[in-house]
Amino acid sequence: MSRKTTGIPGLDGMIQGGFPYPSAILVAGEPGTGKTTLAVQSLFHGASEGEKGLYITAISEPQWLVQRFLSSFSFYDQQLVEKGVVNFIDIGPTLAKNPSDILSTIKKQIEQYHPVRIVIDPITPMTDMLQWRGETREFMHELFAYLKAFECLAIITAELSYDDISHSQESYMVDGVVMLSYPEEEKVRRKFLEVLKLRGTKHTTGRQLIDITDEGLAVQAGLR
Ligand SMILES: Nc1ncnc2c1ncn2[C@@H]1O[C@H](COP(=O)(O)OP(=O)(O)O)[C@@H](O)[C@H]1O
Ligand SMILES: [Mg+2]
């Protein structure tokens, strides 16, 4: 099986060398657990090896604000953005005006940029917006089918807790699920990463301690 290194120190060793390629990986966790950091760090890791990366968001937060937050990390490389190796796209306006056009907008961007790594961060506002129309399931089904057919490593983030994940539709439709969390234990909060599933991969189980620093996110394998 072909794999792509993740760019997250400590993670490749947990998953036989990297994410299967092609594949769609769900990175789930509550706000602030490190989903954006993990996803974008992987995007820049690929880009540093010449792989085109596409970051798609639909949050109302302006894209420059997201980029300013990310640019404080050492993996963020403005040159790769200027050269168009990494592209940031905000489809918030489409989501606000024509929610039903979300899928075709995403497809159009992917066909335009032909990325090797794609990040959709987070998918939650898209699925929430389509919920009241009863279109969520169909949207996710079509999106994941499309991403799987397109040769790429897709990292999709979702604002989901451990309680949500077992009955979330997303987790059934993807090749892998990485859960991030920061439970309060003995009055201290520590951040964790757990690989819940990964197709064709003997992976480490259980929550592993992670660290987020200026260098980005790293798994401290073996530590608990
Ligand atoms: N330079 C840094 N050093 C240490 N921790 C940081 C740094 N930058 C961000 N963080 C931590 O990472 C968290 C943000 O992670 P983020 O990837 O935005 O999470 P999510 O996308 O899941 O909401 C912050 O809540 C903060 O705790
Ligand atoms: Mg985020």
Q: What does the mean pLDDT of the chain come to? A: 93
Ligand 1 atom, smallest distance to 37 CA: 17
Q: How confident is the model at residue 222 (pLDDT cuts 50, 70, 90)?
A: low
Residues, Cβ < 5 Å to ion ligand 2: 35-36
Q: How confident is the model at residue 210 (pLDDT cuts 50, 70, 90)?
A: very high
Query: What is the number of the ligand closest to the CA of 33?
Result: 1
pTM for the complete prediction? Answer: 0.96
The hierarchical CATH code for the domain 21-180 is 3.40.50.300
| Chain-centroid distance, C-alpha 71 | 17
User: 189 C-alpha vs ligand 1 centroid, how far in Å?
Assistant: 13
Q: How confident is the model at residue 215 (pLDDT cuts 50, 70, 90)?
A: very high
pLDDT digits (tens, 9 = 90+) for 5-37: 999 999 999 999 999 999 999 999 999 999 999
Asked whether 222 lines ligand 1 (CB < 6 A), one says no
Contact of 159 with 34, CB cutoff 8 Å? no
Please determine, for residue 118, whether its predicted confidence score (pLDDT) is greater than 70.
yes
pLDDT digits (tens, 9 = 90+) for 164-199: 998 898 899 999 999 999 998 878 889 999 999 999
In angstroms, the CA 207 to CA 148 distance is 27
Quote the pLDDT of residue 60: 60
Quote the pLDDT of residue 189: 86
Query: What is the number of the ligand closest to the CA of 182?
Result: 1
Q: How confident is the model at residue 141 (pLDDT cuts 50, 70, 90)?
A: very high
In angstroms, the CA 29 to CA 181 distance is 6
Asked whether 216 lines ligand 1 (CB < 6 A), one says no
Please determine, for residue 50, whether its predicted confidence score (pLDDT) is greater than 80.
yes
Nearest CA to ligand 1 atom 14: 32
Nearest CA to ligand 1 atom 10: 212
What single-letter amino acid sits at 170? E
pLDDT digits (tens, 9 = 90+) for 60-101: 667 777 888 999 999 999 999 999 999 999 998 898 899 899
Tracing tokens 């259980």 back to the chain, one arrives at 206
